[in-house]
Amino acid sequence: FTFEKILEPIQIGPMKVRNRIVMPPMVTNYAATDGAVTERFKAYHQARAKGGVGFIIVEAAYVQPNGKGFQNQVGIYKDELISGLRNLTDAVHSYGAKIAVQLYHAGRQTTSKVTGMSIVAPSPIPCPVKQEMPKELSLEEIKELVEAFGQAARRAKEAGFDAVEIHGGHGYLVNQFLSPYSNKRTDEYGGTFENRMKFPLEVIQRIRKEVGESFPIIYRMSAEEYVAGGLTLDDTTVFARKLVEAGIDALHISGGVYETSAMIIQPAAIPQGCFVENAAAIKKAINGEVPVLVAGRIKDPVMAEQIIREGKADLVSMGRALLADPELPKKVAEGKAETIRKCIACNQGCIDRLFLD
C-alpha cells in the first residue's frame, strides 16, 4: 500500500501544512490550575510535532474563567498566559508542525465546582449530565463573551499560533446558542435559526477583526447532536454555508453533545470513521470552498488515506491514535506503518483522568 494523499502538503487559508494528518484538540489536564502551560504540556505537544504530524490543534482553551470545563485545562483568558503559550508554539514550530489553539467556553457543560463561580448559558436549562442550573446570559454578558473570544484570538496570535479553532461543537457554549435544544431565548439570540446563528457569527466577526484577513479561523462543529429536538445534518449543512460566507478558513467535523458523549469520544463499539459521511455531505454543501477536517475513530492510516483519496475530507484528525503512538506520521512516511502502536478506544487513561472534580 502506498501513502500519497495523507503525506501531501495542503493550505488552510494562507497556512501551509506539511501533510494531512492532524492532532485534534484533546483536553489533557497537564496545564496548571490557572490554565498556564507547564513543561509537561509543552513536552507532550513537542513529542507529536517531532513524530511528524502536520498540524496540532491544542485542547479547548477557556476564554473566560466561568467557561472552564476541566481541572488543569489550558486557559487563554488573560494576557499573563501568553508567554507560556509562546514557549509551546516555539517548541512545536522547531519540529516543523503548524499549531492552532481551540477557543472555547463550556457554558452549561461544566460546574461551579470546576469554575469557582456560577455557570452561564443561553438559557437556564441544566445539562442533564452536569445537573447544575446555569444563569441565563444577559445581553451585556453576551457582548462581553464575544469580546472575550476576540481577545483570546489576539492572545493566540501574539503567542505565535498559526491559526485558531472556534469550538462550535460538542454542546459547549457556541453550540448551545445554535441549538434549538439548549437555546430557548426569546430575544434576538434565540428562536429562529437566523437568531440562533447570531452568536457564533458575531464571534467569528470579532475574531476576524482582531486577527486580520491572513490568519486562519477554523470552526469545529457537531454535524449532528443526536438528541431529540437538536441539530441535524440538514441544519448544519445550511449553517456550514453561512460559516463559509462569514469567512472561516476550514471546517472540522465531529458530532454529539454531553448527553450523547459516546459520539464525542467514541468507544470501541462506535464504527471507525463514524463522521466521514457527514464530513462528505458538508464538503459537498460548501462546494469544497474551504478544507474540511474530519475526526472520529480514524486510527488506521490506510483508512485515512482512502478518506482523502475519495474526496470525503481534506485533512484527517487522528486523536487517540496519536496519543497511542506520537510517531505515527513518521512511521507512515518511512514505510513502517505496520509498527504503529494502536489505539484500542478503551478510553482508559485519556478520558478517565479528566474528571477529577
What is the contact surface with ligand FNR in residues (CB under 6 A)? 24-27, 59-60, 102, 167, 170, 220, 254, 264-265, 295-298, 317-321, 350-351
Considering the complex, state which of residue 89 and residue 266 has its C-beta at the smaller distance from ligand FNR: 266
Count helices and strands in the chain by DSSP H and E runs = 11, 12
DSSP, collapsed to helix, strand or coil, labels residue 17 as strand
Considering the complex, state which of residue 107 and residue 296 has its C-beta at the smaller distance from ligand FNR: 296
Considering the complex, state which of residue 286 and residue 322 has its C-beta at the smaller distance from ligand FNR: 322
Considering the complex, state which of residue 115 and residue 317 has its C-beta at the smaller distance from ligand FNR: 317
| Closest distance to ligand FNR from the beta carbon of 33 (Å) | 17
Considering the complex, state which of residue 7 and residue 318 has its C-beta at the smaller distance from ligand FNR: 318
| Closest distance to ligand FNR from the beta carbon of 153 (Å) | 16
| Closest distance to ligand FNR from the beta carbon of 186 (Å) | 30
Whether the CB-CB separation of 77 and 65 falls below 8 Å is answered with yes
Whether the CB-CB separation of 189 and 199 falls below 8 Å is answered with yes
Cβ atoms within 10 Å, residue 128: 11
User: 207: closest CA among 151, 169, 145?
Assistant: 151
| Closest distance to ligand FNR from the beta carbon of 194 (Å) | 26
| Closest distance to ligand FNR from the beta carbon of 257 (Å) | 12
Position with the least CB separation from ligand FNR: 319
| Closest distance to ligand FNR from the beta carbon of 276 (Å) | 12
Give catalytic status of residue 104 as yes or no. Answer: no
Residue identified by cell 459520539 is 263
| Closest distance to ligand FNR from the beta carbon of 21 (Å) | 11
Burial profile 283-317: b = 16 or more Cβ within 10 angstroms, e = fewer? bebbeeebbbbbbbbbbbbeebbbbbeeebbbbbb
Considering the complex, state which of residue 123 and residue 317 has its C-beta at the smaller distance from ligand FNR: 317
The residues near 344 (Cβ < 8 Å, ≥ 6 apart) are: 268
**How crowded is the C-beta side of 198, counted as CA atoms within 13 Å?**
15
Whether the CB-CB separation of 85 and 38 falls below 8 Å is answered with no
Whether the CB-CB separation of 243 and 204 falls below 8 Å is answered with yes
Residue identified by cell 480514524 is 298
Residues forming a β-bridge with 185: none
Q: What is the DSSP letter of 339?
A: G
Q: Is 316 left (phi over 0), alpha (psi -120 to 50) or beta?
A: beta
Considering the complex, state which of residue 155 and residue 220 has its C-beta at the smaller distance from ligand FNR: 220
**How crowded is the C-beta side of 200, counted as CA atoms within 13 Å?**
35
The catalytically annotated residue of 172, 181, 189, 219 is 172
Q: Grid coordinates representing 91?
A: 517548541
Please list the active-site residues. Answer: 172
